[in-house]
Amino acid sequence: MRLSDRIGRRMKLQDLHVLMTVVQSGSMGKAAQRLNTSQPNISRSIADLEQALGVRLLDRHRQGIAPTDYGRALLEGGMAVFDELRQTVKNIEFLADPTTGQVRIGTIPPLATSVVSAAVEEMSRRHPRITFDLLTAQTEVLHRELHDRNIDLVIARRFGALADERLEFEPLFDDTYAVVTGTHNPWARRRKVDLRDLMGEPWVLPRRESVPGLILANATRAAGLGYPRAAIVTDSAEMRINLLATGRFFTIFSTSTLRLSARRDEFRALPTRLPMSRAPVGVVTLKARTLGPAVQLFIDQARQIARPLARERR
């Protein structure tokens, strides 16, 4: 009997789900508890899979259970199978009611308060029954979650070519940066501001190794200056915005934040020249992965939000 025939007749989705749970749990006993079944049933499912494929899927050792190379290959395909089924169910639900669905988005903190928030707000207003699940993290974490199919897409910056050939990047616009202060700060009313004049002022900055921190470091270095002394260091864009609103502090923000933040009236970009450091912002998706209708709607909405920003950079 050919392998394809054996798979069609003997390989069950339930057994594949059992295998994934065993590997996630680290033991058959824990998997049995999670699946509310007995350990013999778990062992039988694994044995049926191994017999259908003719290879060993799990190795047992003192620390528990680990997949063999064959097991890892099956698990990777299994995640794709269940993801495709989940997307198919979403498509059916959407056909039955095009106003429902879920979009799972991954993004970095600065874009969460600008592009992503603007797109979510507009789409939720048009389609109030579509739900959104937002994960905010660093790019490496987001790519891993995308590979594991825990999120549908990523909105992020790209520096250079994508190292992972399994990912696809659709550019939306090029982001730039500016020195920013609160609208109540006296410096906000000046028509010309030299970066040198701000070195003694209180700054609230992201970490120096972050993208905005590196851009500011390059700008001050090019001007023959040292890095500004940060009164407060935080990766929280929301906290930086709150502190700007007091009218005391300075920071660096992307122009997308200046344009799209819900609190953009509380801060102002200063006429201070920074080196042109463009960072493409776009949508990252997994190649050859089916995206549900609600996800496609969100991507279309992100394109509309980004269109004015793209025109500004020309």
Q: How far apart are CA 115 and CA 303, in angstroms?
A: 10
Find, among 157, 94, 87, the residue nearest to 129 by Cα: 94
Average pLDDT, stretch 166-194?
A: 92
Percent of the chain with pLDDT over 70: 93
pLDDT, tens only, 62-112: 777 888 888 888 888 888 878 888 878 877 777 667 678 889 999 998 899
SS3 content of the chain, % helix, strand, coil (to 5): 50, 20, 30
Domain 177-269 has CATH 3.40.190.10: yes
- Give the contacts of 216 (CB within 8 A, at least 6 positions apart): 177, 205, 227, 228, 252, 274
97-173+279-312 shares its CATH topology with 177-269: yes
pTM comes to 0.68
Most confident of 13-22, 52-61, 114-123: 114-123
Which of 159, 138, 151, 167 has its CA nearest to residue 284? 167
Q: What is the pLDDT of residues 135-172, one digit of tens each?
A: 999 888 999 999 989 999 999 988 666 778 889 999 99
* Tens-digit pLDDT profile for residues 234-280: 988 889 989 999 999 999 998 888 888 888 889 999 998 776 567 88
Domain 3-79 sits in CATH 1.10.10.10: yes
CA 243, CA 124: separation in Å to the nearest integer? 29
Domain ranges of the chain: 3-79, 97-173+279-312, 177-269
Indicate the residue type of 30. Answer: K
Residue type present at position 111: L
Angle formed at CA 218 by CA 217 and CA 224, multiple of 5 degrees:
90
Tokens of 133: 């699940």
**pLDDT band for position 1 (cuts 50, 70, 90):** very low
- pLDDT given at position 248: 93
The predicted structure's pLDDT at residue 119: 95
The 10s digit of each residue's pLDDT in 40-50 is: 888 888 888 88
Tokens of 138: 């660093």
The reported pLDDT for the residue numbered 314 is: 52
| CATH for 97-173+279-312 (3.30.1540.20, 3.40.190.10, 3.20.190.10, 1.10.10.10) | 3.40.190.10
